[in-house]
Structure 1
């Protein structure tokens, strides 16, 4: 199967059929250090899922960019609910991405960081058993001590808050470990918390050309920030009727 064609239509001048290196360059432009990027897919009528899963909205173009964004980061950050619902396994990238990461002085695979207040995670899961890099679990003071000890056998367990995970502490903790390029893949409640804390630097949004209706959730949920956070459109990529948007926080 031939690789799906992706064109850049903004900023001008437009470019047709751009390759992976050019796409990665487009997503890297202007990114600071540290930097927290969030990636989601949504239908054109605002649904974040189809039959309860975001994967149902994704297409070949979204998969291609999804993989490239993992290539660019130090750590992939995901809420435990999304990990369970979407069936995550160990955090691995393909051989092409491994080579590109090594050439950039990075580890072959990004670190997997999972946010879980309840610690409803199985230490025997392939997420931990097959991990090429030791995962991180971010939790709260209220989580069970015995469960923390069990998970500490297979991951670094980090407490970042008393009753709730505090996003600013979460980000600071990852940066202290040298994980400065943070790539968040959801879910909506984690994204909402990150927005409310003002720590989101970038949103990458794939707009799937479908109308879903129903009761699907938005890409963010939970508490709102004191004031709306202004974002600037950095680029627009197009693959047939799918749009791949990149927004960065206004300075």
Structure 2
């Protein structure tokens, strides 16, 4: 599996590598290329403040800088499919992925944009929203649900999206990942939300976490990157690489151990 070519376009954003070996500058495609030689790879992507807040006033957008925004677009360009929970899709007003000119060359031989795959049990969607009606024919939105989802909503979803049924009473995430891989969608980028990320960790279906650490303190009782019952024992991660920019932001790649 080839993550990204090393010949990044002129002016591509760069970061300073701090770990594993200091290097003054590395382009984002070099730093965040997907690994080669693996059957599939699931990368979760988040931004969080120093004190762990994943949102400001309910949205993640205020935490990132320009480099983080470029990294977000890069991960979408590298992805074969973009996985997101229904709650996050509604709160962040999701539409189809945009064709990003800066990273367009990374999608040679694939569709111009990756399809969205939205996980939902209830299928409580507005099926007339851009997420469904504006998705291109070659990257139709995918709805991942379970067999016990409301039949009428499933029928509505099938009119505007590809429907994947994984599990009986709840969505079986391992089966859902396997279905995506069977369709050739092997580079999976999960953009949250916190509950979906927690569930993917619990089922062992996350390989990597791309975490931007914002030099902010938010406080309050807002959202973190995880939500759900406490892990016992905690899920261990290993730091694969660490990058920084002069404005105090850190960009980390963690791998799941075990």
Taking structure 2 as the reference length, what is the TM-score of the superposition? 0.88
| Number of aligned positions between the proteins | 245
Partner of 2:16: 7
* 1:249 is the counterpart of 2:253: no
* 1:194 is the counterpart of 2:200: yes
Greater Cα shift, 26-35 or 185-194: 26-35
| CA offsets 1:44-80 (integer angstroms, 9 cap, x no match) | 0111111111112111111111111111110000001
The answer to whether the 8 Å contact 1:55/1:86 transfers is no
Structure 1 unaligned residues grouped into runs of 5+: none
Q: CA deviation at 1:162?
A: 2.0
The answer to whether the 8 Å contact 1:70/1:183 transfers is yes
Q: CA deviation at 1:27?
A: 3.4
Poorly superposed stretches of 4+, deviation over 2 Å? 2-6, 18-23, 26-33, 95-100, 223-230
Partner of 2:30: 22
* Aligned-residue CA RMSD (Å): 1.9
Partner of 2:152: 146
CA distance in 2, matches of 1:139, 1:117: 5
Query: What is the correspondence of 1:1-251 to structure 2 with a 5 Å cutoff?
Result: 6-16=15-25, 18-23=26-31, 26-29=32-35, 32-102=38-108, 105-132=109-136, 133-225=139-231, 227-239=233-245, 240-250=247-257
The answer to whether the 8 Å contact 1:37/1:200 transfers is yes
CA distance in 2, matches of 1:209, 1:187: 21
Structure 2 unaligned residues grouped into runs of 5+: 1-10
Q: CA deviation at 1:5?
A: 5.1
Taking structure 1 as the reference length, what is the TM-score of the superposition? 0.91
| CA offsets 1:167-212 (integer angstroms, 9 cap, x no match) | 1111111111111111000000101110111111000111010111
CA distance in 2, matches of 1:229, 1:158: 28
